[in-house]
Amino acid sequence: MEHIRTPKVENVRVIDRSSGQRKASTGTLYLSATHTIFVENNPETRKETWVLHSMVSSVERPPTIPAGSQLILRCKNFRVYQILIPQERDCMDVYSSLVRLSRPEKYSELYCLSFNPNVNKEEREESWNFIDVMADYKRMGVPNNLWVHTAANSEYRVCDTYPSELFVPKSATPAIIVGSSRFRSRGRFPALSYFHQDTLAAVCRCSQPLSGFSGRCQEDEMMLQAVMKSNPGSDFIYVVDTRPKLNAMANRAAGKGYENEDHYTNIKLQFIGIENIHVMRSSQQKIIDVGEMKTPSMTDFLWGLENSGWLKHIKAVLEAGVFIARAVADEGVSVLVHCSDGWDRTAQACSVASVLLDPFYRTIKGLMVLIERDWVSFGHKFSHRYSHLDGDPKEVSPVIDQFLECVWQLSEQFPCAFEFNERFLTAVHTHVYSCQYGTFLGNCQKERRDLRLHERSHSVWPQLWKDRAEYTNPLYKAELSQSQGVLRPNTTPYCFKMWKGLYNHVEKSTPPRQSPSDYLSAVREESQQLEEELTNHQERIAALTGKPITWEKIEVPRRRTSPLWQKHCGPDPPTNYTHPITSCAQDNDQALSKPLNQKAQTKDAALTLPLGLYTHLKGQDTDDLSACSDLESGVADLSSRSSSGGYESKDSDPNETAFISA
């Protein structure tokens, strides 16, 4: 509280830009140790807006206008609040307080260490055991006669950024592990991330070797040989370097680099080309600027989107996962993944590959386990990358943002394959930055242990699980083949969209509308209620008449699909429409009038989905990456393909004039 100069300011006007708010709300602004709170004066609503200080990315102070002094709060979840304070002195006090409160200097200032939900000590301890990474390895069939648990890193003796419990090849002795660790950046030696029970291939992870131009290490070469021998069906392994080759070569001058295939005779080296954290930070800022455009033209929007390069980077991360998944599932070859230090791009590639390979990670709890394993326990630098404490801004980068977006892009191509919806991904994204829970605090497992977070804070996973009804995808069908098998996404550029649900919460020129998934959830709940009412009526009729009620089953005719649709197997319909444009209206009139004339014959035809695609895709080669299985279930793309939505409007932006008119 010592950083708060003015705890309360009245007659403040606020506009929430990201919610599409057109008129400023007047109320009282409060500053607490953890939140900025705005309470409207309207006695009917008394709406409250709470902004967690740790979610504030920046506080800007534009020039003063006649109506008062302005502040702009930009949040880490890309919400923007514009505040007008009548008195300049009050504005300066609020500005100084927010700048300090949004940049904590030590862990003890973070919200998670003061957050105290209504749970007792036993419940808090149980919350940390809700996700069990070791149980996930058992689900994979590990340990076995190929991969074993090692105590080499107990008490973090070999690598302080790795978890204490690791799995390594059975033939890897402690001497080999220690020797390999000394030859790897940050001591991050090859360890098991994912084991594929069908092919016995594995996904392992590590950091770059300290090879320089000619250095080599016998123990490290033996370690890679042990990884290869742990897969009886292959005589080599892929080493996937997720960096651009030019960057990897530059690291050789600093005594690091990549594996020399002359020394490692059992490997095939593959460079992916994911850029470093500095490029990604700059790219995301550009995509944020695109999302904040005020009434742009389509040309401006598309130019900004292309200039950001963001979707190109998302494509590179997804293609890394696709390569690994192909190697493991199709070729039956183990893969060793690394970047520079093995905690950013390596985590992205391994976790995307796991989502593609294993349907368990496409469930709500499965994604929790995956993030806990490949990100939390394997030492992703959460506090540095997401600016939990005031530190070096060059360490900040949207690494896990890109992973979550890859999952979202996959859910757009395969809408029936994921148990969770977009809201679950944005909730995880928010909690990564918010510091409300201790799950994502710190940079490694050892640091969390030293902070005693299990005793002083709470885990986020039980809370998300408790709210899982809100995060459930109504299209998810666990029994469908796309939900059970390996996902094979189409990675051509046109398949990637801007994630408007994250970067542009509401299209500014159109009122908020219900999402398709929310609509389907409401329809499903209403259908369940109607079925329950029908059952009750049946029971009452049967009780009154003394006879059971039987219903005649009606077969609904299937609608035929045109040959044009059957020839296409991507996520979008083709655009090579050959009819003259001038005849479109006439054709549409004919198409609409035909079912009206045949209403008596095809009464329920309008309720059917185009299932001809299902029959067609069943004959597709399963290795064809363009066979997007969202069409398998007859579900078309539910979201708008236009990235700009309603941005064509040229009306003046109300945010420009709301405060001036005040």
The tokens of 19 are what? 């919610």
Which residue in this structure is represented by tokens 């989107």? 305
Distance, CA of 484 to CA of 648 (rounded, Å): 41
- Across the strands, what pairs with 68? 65
Distance, CA of 432 to CA of 534 (rounded, Å): 45
DSSP 3-state of 393 = helix
Burial pattern 277-313, b for ≥16 Cβ within 10 A else e, equals beebbebbeebbebbebeebeeeebeebbeebbbbeb
339 is catalytic: yes
Residue 87 phi/psi, 5-degree rounding, is -100, 135
Helix (H) or strand (E) holding 482: helix 481-484
DSSP 205: E
Burial (Cβ within 10 Å: 0-12, 13-18, ≥19) of residue 515: middle
Distance, CA of 616 to CA of 359 (rounded, Å): 24
Amino acid in position 438: G
Which residue in this structure is represented by tokens 């490692």? 264
Q: What strands lie across the sheet with 335-338, from one edge to the other? A: 191-195, 202-205, 335-338, 237-241, 267-271
3-state secondary structure 100-128: HHCCCCCHHHCHHHCCCCCCCHHHHHHHH
Sign of CA dihedral 109, 110, 116, 121: negative
Distance, CA of 229 to CA of 216 (rounded, Å): 20
Q: Which of 75, 159, 204, 339 does the annotation list as catalytic?
A: 339
DSSP 468: G
Q: Cα–Cα–Cα angle for 345, 350, 356, nearest 5°?
A: 125
Cite the active site residues. Answer: 339
